[in-house]
A and B are shown apart, each in its own frame.
Chain A
Amino acid sequence: MNTKIILAAACAAALAGCATKDEAAYRAQADAVLKRDFQARGIATMDRLDQTELQRICTQYHDNPPFEVQQRLEAAEMKTVKLPADGKFMGDWKRGARIAESGRGMTWSDKPGEAGGSCYNCHQLSPQQTSFGTLGPSLLQFGKTRGYTEANQKYVYERIYNSKAFNTCSTMPRFGSTGTLTEAQIKDLVAYLMDPESPVNK
């Protein structure tokens, strides 16, 4: 019986070893096959399949890279965040509400410059909007519970601009760094989360 268990464990270990080795080869093959089997359409150009270092590392580590790697990548992502020239983080929460609702942008069926934030795809925000996703945390009463401070406004601006500066392999797109949203749009979203008058905080 013991022999059987040891044998089974050894086999499992051997298989795991092989699987790890093969995984790298299959990742490289996937990269090559995607580049061969996909084609540009509309604004979705082929350079989108050139993995960035961050995308490559998050793929390799199934979104959980070693701590030192996370620190290095997050610092690099933070450098891509461009703070508003006028030093103001808040726009208009009413415009922000529309941007949060829109799921458009960056697909091959979208035109350039017609992106929204797709916020409700993943987050709960205003209690009035009951159609919301759960891929991200609920942001209900975001400003009210965390405090309407300038530091929090800055945090929200940076987080929307580049979520990977805070969580290396975050599922959330880098809305500012990728040019999906403009500075003004991000400010409107900050207001949607941080203005005491916004329905998010009611």
Chain B
Amino acid sequence: MKRRNIVCAAALGAALGATPVAAQDTDTTTAEFEKFRAVMEEANPAELFELKGEELWRTRRGPKNASLEKCDLGLGPGVVKGAYVQTPRYFPDVGRVMDIEARVVHCMITLQGFTYEELAKQPFSTETRTPDVVSIVTFIAAQSKGMKFDAPQSNAQEREAYELGKAIFFHRAGAWDLSCASCHGADGKRIRTQQLPNFTNPQQAARGVLGWPGYRMTGGVMHTLQWRMNDCFRQQRFPEPKYVSEAITALLTYLTVNANGTVYKGPGIKR
């Protein structure tokens, strides 16, 4: 894995970093990165995490020595295919809407006997450690490759999660008065050279969900949307969202439902 990171970094450097890129050429930068991404996706490092996740899904683990094969991701116990693109959704057994990662955590607690505290302690990948949940979510996501996003809005709870997520999206607060919409509410904006998708524009909503979970070149680690939301709030100068909390599920409901109908291409590659 380590060597692969170095190879990736070197290749990325050759593609992007070797010459200073003028801002007027941002589209060239983006185009170059897209080319590089296409090459990388033929041997996407995310596949290694999918394999690890599949093994973790099937292995008896935790204090209860159980596998996750009875975990109900919304389509019935053990059904993985299509589950990723049909979450967040309402789960009657817990009486709340859950995104995929929240549901996996729920199953690891109820079926395997892990505690929330141990799973929430270091929930995100570092250069030296990838949490099991990340690999499991990557495995589940890969089983929806080629399917359309279809996060349901079929009951009051799911519709409420969407509206709450939308309200959170526009909520200005924090040391710098920012909301999600401050950066993601208009077309064609950039931070430095990074293009910002406008999530209030239905045509761009897919950019919020495609490529996640993603293998991130920066640091060479695998990340899920839970991490992405966490790091957005860090840069928004907010306090930290609690892991797999309702606030994040609501925001993910807003982003995913807006992207419904887009074909999911599987775990991807991120800058």
Chain A contact residues, CB within 8 Å of chain B? 22-23, 26-27, 29-31, 33-34, 36-41, 44-46, 48-52, 54-55, 58-59, 62, 103, 106-109, 120-122, 124, 130-135, 164, 169, 171, 173-174, 178, 180
The answer to whether A29 and B164 have CB atoms under 8 Å apart is yes
Chain B contact residues, CB within 8 Å of chain A? 20-24, 163-164, 166-168, 170-179, 182-183, 188-194, 196, 233-235, 237-242, 245-248, 250
Contacts of A30 in B (CB 8 A): 164, 167-168, 171
Enumerate 30 A-B pairs (CB-CB under 8 Å) in ascending A order: A23-B167, A27-B167, A27-B171, A33-B168, A33-B250, A34-B171, A38-B238, A38-B239, A38-B241, A39-B239, A41-B239, A48-B237, A48-B238, A49-B238, A50-B173, A51-B171, A55-B177, A59-B179, A106-B175, A130-B20, A131-B21, A131-B23, A132-B23, A133-B189, A133-B190, A133-B194, A134-B189, A135-B183, A171-B182, A173-B176
The answer to whether A33 and B174 have CB atoms under 8 Å apart is no
Min C-beta distance of B171 to chain A, whole Å: 5
Min C-beta distance of A130 to chain B, whole Å: 5
The answer to whether B234 and A108 have CB atoms under 8 Å apart is yes
Min C-beta distance of A11 to chain B, whole Å: 17
In the bound complex, CA of A93 to CA of B33 (Å) = 35
> Which residue of A23, A103, A130 contacts B21 across the interface (Cβ within 8 Å)?
A130
The answer to whether B192 and A44 have CB atoms under 8 Å apart is no
Residue of A nearest to B165 (CB): A30
Known: A23-B167, A37-B247, A107-B235. A54 touches B177 (CB 8 A): yes
Contacts of B21 in A (CB 8 A): 130-131
> Inter-chain contact count A-B, CB under 8 Å?
141
Known: A107-B235, A108-B234, A135-B183. A38 touches B175 (CB 8 A): no
The answer to whether A39 and B242 have CB atoms under 8 Å apart is yes
In the bound complex, CA of A45 to CA of B174 (Å) = 9
Residue of B nearest to A38 (CB): B239
The answer to whether B174 and A48 have CB atoms under 8 Å apart is yes
Min C-beta distance of A99 to chain B, whole Å: 16
The answer to whether B247 and A26 have CB atoms under 8 Å apart is no
Contacts of A180 in B (CB 8 A): 175-176
In the bound complex, CA of A108 to CA of B115 (Å) = 25
Residue of B nearest to A124 (CB): B23
Residue of A nearest to B29 (CB): A131
The answer to whether A33 and B234 have CB atoms under 8 Å apart is no
> Which residue of A37, A164, A178 contacts B241 across the interface (Cβ within 8 Å)?
A37
The answer to whether B164 and A122 have CB atoms under 8 Å apart is no
The answer to whether B242 and A121 have CB atoms under 8 Å apart is no
The answer to whether B177 and A41 have CB atoms under 8 Å apart is no
The answer to whether A135 and B176 have CB atoms under 8 Å apart is no
In the bound complex, CA of A36 to CA of B234 (Å) = 17
The answer to whether B239 and A48 have CB atoms under 8 Å apart is yes
Min C-beta distance of B170 to chain A, whole Å: 6
Min C-beta distance of B69 to chain A, whole Å: 30
The answer to whether A34 and B23 have CB atoms under 8 Å apart is no
Contacts of A22 in B (CB 8 A): 163
Contacts of A49 in B (CB 8 A): 173-174, 238-239
Contacts of B246 in A (CB 8 A): 33, 36-37
In the bound complex, CA of A95 to CA of B265 (Å) = 46
In the bound complex, CA of A122 to CA of B23 (Å) = 12
Min C-beta distance of B177 to chain A, whole Å: 6
Residue of B nearest to A34 (CB): B247
Contacts of B164 in A (CB 8 A): 26, 29-30, 33
